[in-house]
């Protein structure tokens, strides 16, 4: 087993991924739900998160992670100006020095900045290969106004692009039903996880998660639907039950 494989195992529980991204503080101006950061993270890791995603500066505020894998996010933009263009704000070597088990980047396809983000993807992928660090890539189809313009064909293409450029795990949007998603997952060359997207009604959220797990995905990467829920602790327990027993 090589270094990447060892580290990927640290991101999973029972062979599945329940990742909670907590990188929203740069992008979104009103993020009061994460004001009590340490308390929020503690509830998340104590109740089943297999991994979390944070920016480099937030690593110092983390409680002990125990069996939860650490993914350091390398991309950023704010909602104030050109949020579709994600720039690199951390390097792989920095993430390693912080104790990261993996790194993540956000790529938006279908806009005028696509080529710049793909160039960053290639460079980061090379560094990840050099240092044996897993690369978790968030792939979205967004126009210049940062609007979702995806369809199932472009989503399938985005997974292939992630595979071609060296991603180890790819994250895609969550709007696909099981009939659309299942053949895409079957053809994928690398493991796929699905994003949570907009905050949903609790029952709808659990039903969607259960349905998504039937498609053969590796797991989910849910942020706002966890830390913006009325009871993040209960939400995590219910998600862990759905995902790890799928």
Element (H, E) at 235: helix 232-244
**What residues contact residue 59 under an 8 Å CB cut-off, 6+ apart?**
70, 72, 98, 99, 100
User: What is the Cα–Cα distance from 39 to 156, expressed in whole angstroms?
Assistant: 37
Task: Given the residues 23, 56, 85, 86, select the one marked as catalytic.
Answer: 23
Count of other CB atoms within 10 angstroms of residue 151: 12
Whether 23 is a known active-site residue: answer yes
Tell me which long-range contacts 11-15 makes (C-beta under 8 A, separation of at least 24): 11/50, 11/51, 11/69, 11/71, 11/101, 11/102, 11/134, 11/136, 11/169, 12/50, 12/51, 12/69, 12/218, 12/219, 13/48, 13/50, 13/67, 13/240, 13/244, 14/244
Task: Given the residues 85, 86, 171, 244, select the one marked as catalytic.
Answer: 171
As given in the structure block, the two tokens for residue 217 are 């995905």
Task: Given the residues 140, 156, 168, 244, select the one marked as catalytic.
Answer: 140
Tokens 């912080």, located at residue: 98
Active-site amino acid positions: 23, 140, 171
């Amino acid at each position: 087993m090589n270094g990447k494989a060892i580290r990927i195992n640290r991101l999973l529980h029972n062979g599945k991924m329940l990742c909670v991204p907590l990188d929203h503080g740069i992008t979104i101006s009103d993020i009061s739900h994460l004001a009590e950061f340490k308390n929020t993270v503690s509830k998340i890791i104590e109740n089943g998160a297999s991994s979390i995603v944070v920016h480099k500066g937030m690593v110092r505020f983390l409680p002990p992670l125990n069996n939860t894998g650490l993914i350091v996010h390398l991309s950023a933009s704010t909602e104030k100006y050109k949020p579709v263009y994600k720039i690199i704000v951390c390097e792989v070597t920095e993430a390693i020095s912080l104790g990261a088990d993996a790194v993540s980047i956000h790529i938006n396809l279908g806009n005028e900045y696509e080529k710049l983000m793909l160039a960053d993807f290639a460079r980061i992928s090379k560094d990840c290969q050099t240092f044996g660090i897993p690369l978790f890539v968030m792939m979205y189809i967004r126009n210049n106004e940062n609007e979702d313009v995806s369809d199932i064909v472009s989503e399938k293409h985005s997974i292939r692009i992630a595979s071609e450029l060296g991603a180890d795990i790819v994250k895609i949007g969550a709007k696909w039903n099981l009939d659309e998603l299942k053949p895409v997952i079957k053809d994928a060359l690398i493991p796929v996880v699905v994003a949570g997207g907009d905050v949903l009604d609790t029952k709808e959220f659990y039903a969607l998660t259960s349905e998504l797990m039937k498609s053969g995905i590796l797991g989910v990467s849910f942020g706002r639907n966890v830390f913006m829920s009325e009871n993040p602790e209960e939400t995590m327990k219910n998600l862990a039950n759905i995902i790890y027993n799928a």
